[in-house]
Structure 1
Amino acid sequence: MDTLSCQTASSRALRRTRVLSGQIHGSAPMSTAVSQDGVILDTVNTTGVITLDRPKKLNTLDLPMIRRIYPQLKSWEKDPNIHLVVIKASGDKAFCAGGDVVAVTEAGKVGDRLAQDFFREEYILNNAIGTLKTPYVAIINGITMGGGVGLSVHGKFRVATEKTLFAMPETAIGLFPDVGGGYFLPRLGSHLGNYLALTGFRLKGADVQKAGVATHFVDSSEIPDMFDALVKLPSPTEKDISNVLEDYHRKCSPDKEFVLQSHLDDINRNFGGETVEEIMSALEKDGSEWATKQLETLKKMSPTSMKITLRQLQVGGKLSLEECLRMEYRMTQGCVRGKDFYEGVRAVLVDKDQSPKWDPATLEEVTNEVVESYFKPLPEEKEWKAQL
């Protein structure tokens, strides 16, 4: 079925589908679940349903949300009556636009524990998703960045729509692509992960699936029917779930070339350097309009962030998710100790002048010793562990 037919059919389906309190329930039983701390937790038949419910704030992830989701996820994993977990979000602008880094930097300025607790518990949740025995479906409709990527990409199934906007833009705020970015980005193939991590390039719609970030693409108007089909499955196996998602993917997946297809050779040739300096030099030598544009983008990013990010991906490609998250937690604490994280958040998210003053200001000033300091083990009592 082509996209137009898919949308026409789904418009009829939407009229048949019941929408309760802004949440998708299809013909499932009436829910009495309420929003608490920005999250709705519910069960529909044999499915546990997590709904991020801060639409006015683009479902930005904060610590109270993490503390609601994690114990419920672990409880469902042990529950013999739960055979599937679905995570989705209220509204259609964002699945989750990221973690609440403004609150984290404000805490870091005054030595508040939030600068440690947020990353520690977020990564524990990320690891729980990545190791969950129960099949996990993330419906990433809308903006999906940073913390939203961590809530989705490590699950077995990730469903993108034409409204999905994926990016890991952390080098622009003096951070790095965390939440397991060091694990999944190097596994996208070739040097695509390096490119996405260093430039913060935005992938949209079906391209999120074509890049390997999502496993399926379904038109947003089909999501209510797809959700209904999933929760109606009686004690579903992973194969049953996969069959439903494949059916919708086949109906709706557009016949379009991957947005970066024509530049994959350029990406592999220019973004495979061992150092950021090598990557910049390769782009300068390339001299094409595309390469010049990438060079301009990289020159705006935090030099420190770019260097630690490249090292993160080089190391993370050989680590387990748990090992990678432990490494990334050490890196976050380096960012909290440094200057660029605070300056980047100020320039991009608070004052929004888009003119950060990086310190150090050049790649040359970010020595190997500086980079290594972000990866050094923490005192044992401060190290990240996969369980609370």
Structure 2
Amino acid sequence: MARPIWSGILSFGLVSVPVSLYAATEDHTVHFRQIQRGTSDRVRNLRVNERTGEEVAFGDIVKGFETAEGEYVVVEPEELDQISPGRSKTIEITGFVDLDQVKPIFFDKTYYLGPKGKEYGKVYTLLQKALEQANRAGIAMFSMRGKEYLTAVRAENGILTAHTMHFADEVRDPHHEIGNLPDGDTAVSDRELTMAEQLIEMLAVDWNPDDYHDTFEQKVHELIAAKQSGADYAAPEAAPRPSNVIDLMDILSRSLESAGRPAGAAGAAEAGEAGEPGAEAPARGGRTAGKGAAGRKAPATGSSGGRSAGKGAGKSAGTSAAKSAGKGAGKTAPAAEDLSQLTKAELYRRAGELDIPHRSTMTRDQLQAALEETAARAGDGPAAKPRRHLRAAS
């Protein structure tokens, strides 16, 4: 069990509970020692008087605040101790704020809060559940290790956590810090925005922190192991180059294809922008809408990315993702097949073709279930039935 780094009283109103503060994170950074090249001799940092070049003992060092070049106001360590917050034993919550109102930039470091004994479990649980239900955080000031902290106490995963926060004057204004931010007049076309949104939705994933690792730390360990064994170490690939703004549409189209969207869908959008009769840029969600009763195009995209277009009656033959033809035409369900072999990106694309609601928030299994339910409602039966051509509603 970890040792607490602080113990005291957490209070709100007349309610108080003894708590202990624990570190919530740990640093796995690879640490190196400084040695002289060609030797195994450690190199140490010394406190040296820059005028005389002589080493200065730690006890002879005081703090100085520079008021002008070469002029200092000297402050002794004990003078700082007299005005420091000391070892406060209370986290006193003075108000509760809506968590949605607190921008992430204000949060600094996270700590776990635990009850100091089992006899305080009920009060602890009461505050934890109340904060969770209200989606609020208690704001408090408390002192630790000679420093005062603005702190937010909130409920997370069945426990209380304390987040030290930055004060308002510690948060920099990005418009003062960054000199080349785009202004509000920067033009982005609707088509570019639509394709970018489609790419974001197709690459949507469920948040799982275990899927992400410190790859730099891993590469450092691999480099050390390779040098220790005398083996060669292959350097990682170079960083990607910045996108050429002139070729932005081409880059977006290729990005959609690599994410699982068929090349035909992007091609249809390009034809629509070029003014091809009966074609229109894709609507949000990846669907293509035809113009007029005649000359409609209904792209039906299979796993190989082929397209077929029907005119007039709006017939379309699809392999696994048939689309309806034109505005007002009924949406068709995907041909019966085993959807369990498809990736989430492929399932999401098909859900977009059928305009299944809330698809961007679904997991892979939920997308599959929604597609199978849509197919069943359209009369395709279980996914295990043989494939058959679909007839678009006229």
Higher percent of residues as helix: 1
Whether TM exceeds 0.5 here: the answer is no
Please give the range of the TM-score, normalised by the shorter of the 2 chains.
Answer: under 0.3
